[in-house]
Amino acid sequence: MSNSNALAGKHALITGGGHGIGGASAEALAAHGAKLTLTGRNMEKLEQMAAKLPGAEVRQLDVTDEAAVKRVFTEAAQSLGPVAILINNSGIADTAPFLRTSSDMMRRLMEVNLIGTHTSTQQVLEGMIDAGWGRVVNISSLAGLSGQPYITAYCASKHAVIGLTRTLALEVVKKGITVNAVCPAYVETGMVERGVDNIRDITGMSEEEARGELAKKSPQNRIIMPSEVGATVAWLCLPGSESITGQSIAMAGGAWM
């Protein structure tokens, strides 16, 4: 994706913006002139990412802390102007067979993946309505579109994000605001690294073999790069995507159609 000034003056806030999909989204939006606020729990990673993006601001945030979300979003808007683009990327994953999926695990994943998205979006929506323009992109997962064994809590939370996306898109459909979800399969992030480690621990496979097992789940026989997801996120915010709303865009190399 080439550079442009199409998003010049637009304030984009990214939760979980210090690395992986969040960091790639930050780089893609910055390439089109957006002003950036990166939030997350790990300040070291946030600062490392911001160092690559002149003018980007960082703020420590746990999206499960509603009071902190309200404070951080207010401070970010005071510094860089109203948030015009929100990328809800903060998320966690746990694996367990259904009978070992505790209520605590379910609550924890719902708190981060769903309620964190809900709380963050509420902070920016009124400003977007007032401006008559806004873009909300929720990072869901292929697991939000299809059932997969051993990740009940993760699947449920990511399905819920898609439900939120679709209903909110219709609520604001005439207000110049689009709301979409991006649903990648395995992406080369820390989450995949942990998955590879789990496969190695259970099967005794080498790292290369374990990665191969994950790659096989895609007809393209590959793991997605974060930059691909970042480019898709940016596209949903650029001129020309105005009619794309309420969608759950699968990035799975043909594994979901």
Do strands 134-139 and 248-251 pair parallel, antiparallel, or not at all (unpaired)? Answer: unpaired
Tokens of 81: 């102007």
- DSSP code of 86? E
Report the catalytic residues. 154
pLDDT in tens, 41-86: 999 999 999 999 999 999 999 999 999 999 999 999 999 999 999 9
**In the chain, alpha helices (H):** 20-30, 43-50, 66-80, 103-109, 116-131, 152-171, 190-203, 207-215, 226-235
pTM: predicted TM-score of the whole model, two decimal places = 0.95
- Look at the domain 11-186+225-251 and name its fold: Rossmann fold (3.40.50)
Tokens of 119: 């709380």
Domain borders along the chain are 11-186+225-251, 189-223
pLDDT in tens, 6-49: 999 999 999 999 999 999 999 999 999 999 999 999 999 999 99
Q: Residues near 221 by Cβ (< 8 Å), separated by ≥ 6?
A: 215, 253
